Amino acid sequence: MQAKIGFIGGGHMATAILEGLVEHYPKSLLYVADRNAPKRKYFSETLGINTASHFSEFIDEMDAIVLAIKPQGFPELLPELKPHLKEETLVISVAAGISSEAILRALGRETQPLVRTMPNIPAAVGLGATALFSPNTLTDSHAALTETIFNACGITTWVEKEALLSAVISVSGSSPAYFFYLLEIMIDAGVKLGLSRESSEILAKQTMLGSAQIALDSDKSVKALKESVMSPEGTTEQAIFSFERDDLQQIIERGMQAAFDRDQVLSSEISKKL
């Protein structure tokens, strides 16, 4: 028998996951709770899944619960969730900055099956990258169910230590914004060089898409792929040399470190409230 899965919160990430999941999983076994009536209408009428204004309307039947609200809502949600939760129910969190220890402490049950995840925005187009971590031993069925949920909107990988989720945020959680920022800079630079904004935007976006596909498909390292485009004394080589003189690598590393550090701070601040 397949598991019943309930989502608490119907925001962007829950929507992205559910839009992928309905293509691979029985809609009758999917539930979402959200206070927003238009969102519930979308889930029920467009996706064909079960909806409720509050999780208490369905939680007793669930085999897995996905906590898909903003981190700031956890101090209010978890104490409310605690009396409704069965010992064997799998709890999955998609929130950044809320440690497993804090979640389990708030739920009052150290052995509650729990998975922390770190998905990203490309899940909305089925190309997400989600890191998974569990602080306790999961059953094979719980691990498989977690993978089913997130593989429906991209790829998954398990990490061995929870501390690595902060690194995941830097590498994949926040990085869609890095790529959008790079595109913004390239498009503006193309305009300054004489291209129309429309042409510059189309060319830059398609080139980023194609380059990502080559990197995924190739057995070569990304360094080797970069060097394969750099003809000696050619235009690409001069661009890369310019980036290196301006220490672009250090600029990017400092930004990623800032994202890592901020996650550590948020985790400490919110965990104290649980």
Q: pLDDT tens digits, residue range 229-242?
A: 999 999 999 999 99
Q: What is the pLDDT of residue 267?
A: 83
Question: In angstroms, rounded to a whole number, what is the distance separating the alpha carbons of residues 66 and 149?
Answer: 10
All structural domains of the chain with their residue ranges: 5-165, 173-264
As given in the structure block, the two tokens for residue 232 are 């000696």
In Å, what is the CA distance from 127 to each residue of 67, 95, 116, 178, 212? Answer: 21, 19, 19, 17, 12
Amino acid at 244: E
DSSP bridge pairs for 52: 33
Whether residue 260 is predicted with pLDDT greater than 80 in this model: the reply is yes
What does pLDDT average to over the chain? 95
In Å, what is the CA distance from 201 to each residue of 143, 185, 187, 196? Answer: 41, 10, 5, 9
Whether residue 136 is predicted with pLDDT greater than 90 in this model: the reply is no
Give the DSSP H or E segment for 273.
none
Q: What is the pLDDT of residue 124?
A: 85
As given in the structure block, the two tokens for residue 117 are 């995840």
Task: Count Cα neighbours of 113 within 13 Å in the Cβ-side half-sphere.
Answer: 19
The 3-class SS string of 190-256 reads HHHCCCCHHHHHHHHHHHHHHHHHHHHHCCCCHHHHHHHHCCCCCHHHHHHHHHHHCCHHHHHHHHH
Tell how strand 64-67 and strand 5-8 pair up.
parallel
Grade residue 24 by pLDDT with cuts at 50, 70 and 90.
Answer: confident
Q: 67, 94 in Cβ contact below 8 A? A: yes
Question: In angstroms, rounded to a whole number, what is the distance separating the alpha carbons of residues 204 and 183?
Answer: 7
Grade residue 272 by pLDDT with cuts at 50, 70 and 90.
Answer: confident
Taking Cα atoms as reference points, which of 96, 114, 98, 248 lies closest to residue 173?
96
Percent of residues, the chain, with pLDDT higher than 90: 86
Tens-place pLDDT, residues 38-49: 999 999 999 999
Q: Which CATH code is given to the segment(s) 5-165?
A: 3.40.50.720
Average pLDDT over residues 179-200: 98
Most confident listed range (108-112, 138-142, 151-155, 200-204) = 200-204
What is the third-level CATH fold of 173-264?
ProC C-terminal domain-like fold (1.10.3730)
Grade residue 50 by pLDDT with cuts at 50, 70 and 90.
Answer: very high
Whether residue 216 is predicted with pLDDT greater than 80 in this model: the reply is yes
Question: In angstroms, rounded to a whole number, what is the distance separating the alpha carbons of residues 97 and 175?
Answer: 17
As given in the structure block, the two tokens for residue 211 are 């380059």
Q: What is the pLDDT of residue 26?
A: 95
Q: What is the pLDDT of residue 270?
A: 80
CB atoms within 10 A of CB 165: 22
Q: 54, 33 in Cβ contact below 8 A? A: yes
The 3-class SS string of 64-105 reads EEEECCCHHHHHHHHHHHHHHCCCCCEEEECCCCCCHHHHHH
Say if pTM beats, i.e. exceeds, 0.75. Answer: yes
Whether residue 77 is predicted with pLDDT greater than 90 in this model: the reply is yes
Whether residue 1 is predicted with pLDDT greater than 80 in this model: the reply is no
Whether residue 271 is predicted with pLDDT greater than 90 in this model: the reply is no
